[in-house]
Amino acid sequence: MDLARFTASIRVPTTLSARIALTLLFTALAVAADWFAPVIFAGHSLVLGVVFYWIALRTIGPNCALFVISVTTLILSIKWGQPYSGAIIAFEGLWVGQAWRNRRNPLLADLLYWILVGTPLSWFLYHQVYPIPRPSLYHALMVQPINGLIAVWIAYMALELIHPSHAEDGPAPAQSFRVFLLKRYVAFGTFPVLVAGLLAARTFEQRVLAEARDNLQSTARHLAAILSREIYLGSSAVQLIASRQSDDRWYGDTPRLNTELDSTRGPAGPFLTMLATDAAGHVTAASPAMARSSPGGLGKGILVADREYFKFPMETGRPYVSGIFRGRGFGSDLLIAISAPVVTHSGERIGIIEGSLPVSRLDQLIREDTPEGTWRSLLTDQNQRVVASHGFEHTPLTRLTNTALGRLLQNKQTVPQRFTDDLAEGRVSFLSVNATLPETGWTLTVQRSWGDALQPVLIAYSLMLAVTVATALLASVFSAWSIRDFLKTWHELIAFSRTLQPAKLATSYNRNLPLEFRELLQNLDHMALRLGSEQQQREKLLAELESRVKDRTRELEHAVVRAQSADRAKSAFLATVSHELRTPLTSIITGTWLLKSGATAKTEREIRTLSTLEKSSQVLMNVISDVLDYSKLEAGGVTIARSVFQPDAIIADVVSILTPGARAAGLEVRIKSQHAPGTTWVGDQIRLRQVLLNLAGNSVKFTTSGYVEIETWIDATGSDRRLRMIVRDTGPGIPADHLTKVFEPFVQLDTNRVMSQGGTGLGLSISRKLVVMMGGQLTLRSTVGEGSTFEFWLPDARAEPTAPSA
Phi and psi dihedrals of 464, rounded to 5? Answer: -55, -45
Q: Which long-range contacts (CB under 8 A, 24 or more apart) does 72-78 make?
A: 72/27, 72/30, 72/31, 72/34, 74/125, 75/31, 75/34, 75/35, 76/34, 76/39, 76/45, 77/125, 77/126, 77/130, 78/130
Q: At residue 512, what are phi and psi to the nearest 5 degrees?
A: -85, 70
Which one of residues 594, 665, 755, 784 is an interface residue with other proteins (CB under 8 A)?
A: 594
- Smallest separation (angstroms) from other proteins to the CB of 782: 30
CB atoms within 10 A of CB 397: 16
Q: Provide the minimum distance between the beta carbon of 788 and other proteins in the complex, in angstroms, as a whole number.
A: 27
Q: Say whether residue 625 binds other proteins (CB under 8 A).
A: yes
Q: Which is nearer to other proteins, 536 or 587 (CB)?
A: 587
CA gap 651, 144 in Å, rounded: 97
The 8-class DSSP code of residue 140 comes to: I
Cis (ω within 30 of 0) for the bond into 288? yes
According to CB under 8 A, which one of 265, 385, 687, 769 is a site residue for other proteins?
Answer: 687
In the complex with other proteins, the residue whose CB is nearer, 233 or 589, is: 589
Q: Does 628 bind other proteins (CB under 8 A)?
A: yes
Q: Which amino acid is at 546?
A: E
94: Cβ–Cβ under 8 A, 6 or more apart, which residues?
62, 66, 69
Question: 241-266 burial string, b = 16+ CB within 10 Å, else e?
Answer: bbeebbebeebeeeeebbebbbebbe
C-alpha span between 490 and 544 (Å, rounded): 38
Cβ burial, residue 345 (10 Å; 0-12/13-18/19+): exposed
Please choose, out of 180-188, 382-390, 416-424, 573-581, the segment that lies near other proteins by the rule CB under 8 A: 573-581
Which of residues 278 and 629 has its CB atom nearest to other proteins in the complex?
629
Binding residue for other proteins (CB under 8 A) from 578, 609, 631, 673? 578
User: What is the nearest approach in angstroms of other proteins to the Cβ of residue 591?
Assistant: 5
115 sits near other proteins (criterion: CB under 8 A): no
Site string for other proteins, 632-651 (x = CB under 8 A): x------x-x----------
Using the minimum distance from each CB to other proteins, give the nearer residue, 267 or 804.
804
What's the farthest any 2 CA atoms get from each other in the chain?
214
Cα end-to-end distance, the chain, whole Å:
77
In the bound state with other proteins, the residue whose beta carbon lies nearer, of 579 and 741, is: 579
Between CA 704 and CA 662 the distance in angstroms is 9
Of the candidate residues 547, 590, 756, 783, the single one contacting other proteins (CB under 8 A): 590
3-state SS record for 228-241: HHHHHHHHHHHHHH
Q: How far apart are CA 72 and CA 82, in angstroms?
A: 13
Rule CB under 8 A: choose which of 1, 428, 527, 589 binds other proteins: 589
Q: Which residue spans within 290-374 are E strands per DSSP? A: 320-326, 334-343, 349-358
Q: How far apart are CA 85 and CA 72, in angstroms?
A: 11
Q: In angstroms, rounded to a whole number, what is the distance separating the alpha carbons of residues 360 and 357?
A: 9
The stretch among 33-41, 556-564, 576-584, 792-800 that binds other proteins (CB under 8 A) is 576-584
We find the least distance from the C-beta atom of residue 585 to other proteins, in angstroms, to be 4
Segment near other proteins (CB under 8 A), from 255-263, 288-296, 379-387, 680-688? 680-688
- The binder of other proteins chosen from 621, 714, 739, 754 (CB under 8 A): 621
Total number of residues that touch other proteins (CB under 8 A): 29
Q: How far apart are CA 729 and CA 790, in angstroms?
A: 9
802 binds other proteins (CB under 8 A): no
Are 161 and 188 in contact, with CB atoms under 8 Å apart?
Answer: yes
Determine if 585 is a binding residue for other proteins (CB under 8 A): yes
Nearer to other proteins, 326 or 579 (CB): 579
Q: Is residue 599 near other proteins by the rule CB under 8 A?
A: no
Q: 469 or 641: whose CB is closer to other proteins?
A: 641
Binding piece for other proteins, criterion CB under 8 A, among 381-389, 434-442, 588-596, 722-730: 588-596
Least separation in angstroms between CB 612 and other proteins: 17
Interaction residues for other proteins, span 258-317 (CB under 8 A): none
Q: Which stretch binds other proteins (CB under 8 A): 245-253, 342-350, 577-585, 695-703?
A: 577-585
CB of 687 to other proteins, least distance (A): 7
CB of 806 to other proteins, least distance (A): 4
Cα–Cα distance measured from residue 132 to residue 753, given in angstroms and rounded to the nearest whole number: 127
- On whether the CB atoms of residues 287 and 312 are closer than 8 A, the answer is no
- Cβ proximity to other proteins: between 603 and 639 the closer is 639
Write the DSSP string, 568-603.
HHHHHHHHHHHHHHHHHHHHHHHHHHHHHHSSS---
Name 569's Cβ contacts closer than 8 Å, sequence gap at least 6.
Answer: none
Minimum CB distance to other proteins, residue 607 (Å): 17
Angle CA(68)–CA(428)–CA(80) in degrees, nearest 5?
15
Give DSSP secondary structure letters for 778-792: EEEEEETTTEEEEEE
**CB of residue 719 vs other proteins: minimum separation in angstroms?**
30
Binding of residue 600 to other proteins (CB under 8 A): no
Question: C-beta of 791: minimal distance to other proteins in Å?
Answer: 24
Confirm or reject binding of residue 575 to other proteins (CB under 8 A).
Answer: yes
The answer to whether residue 588 forms part of the interface with other proteins (CB under 8 A) is yes
Q: Cβ of 364: how many Cβ atoms within 10 Å?
A: 14
User: Is 579 among the residues that bind other proteins (CB under 8 A)?
Assistant: yes
Q: List the beta bridge partners of residue 669.
A: 708
**Cβ closer to other proteins: 337 or 628?**
628
Q: Cβ closer to other proteins: 111 or 577?
A: 577
Closer residue to other proteins in complex, CB, 308/614: 614
**Smallest gap, in angstroms, from Cβ of residue 631 to other proteins?**
12
- In a 10 Å sphere around its CB, with 0-12 CB exposed, 13-18 middle and 19+ buried, how is residue 488 labelled? middle
Q: Is 593 in the site for other proteins (CB under 8 A)?
A: yes
Toward other proteins, which CB reaches closer, 296 or 591?
Answer: 591
Judged by CB under 8 A, which stretch of 456-464, 495-503, 581-589, 703-711 contacts other proteins?
581-589
583 binds other proteins (CB under 8 A): yes
Q: Determine the interface stretch with other proteins among 41-49, 320-328, 511-519, 572-580 (rule: CB under 8 A).
A: 572-580
Q: Does 591 bind other proteins (CB under 8 A)?
A: yes
- Residue pair 165/187 in contact by the 8 Å Cβ criterion: no
Looking at 338-346, 548-556, 585-593, 718-726, which segment touches other proteins (CB under 8 A)?
Answer: 585-593
Where do contacts with other proteins occur on this chain (CB under 8 A)? 575, 578-591, 593-594, 597, 617, 621, 625, 628, 632, 639, 641, 684, 686-687, 806
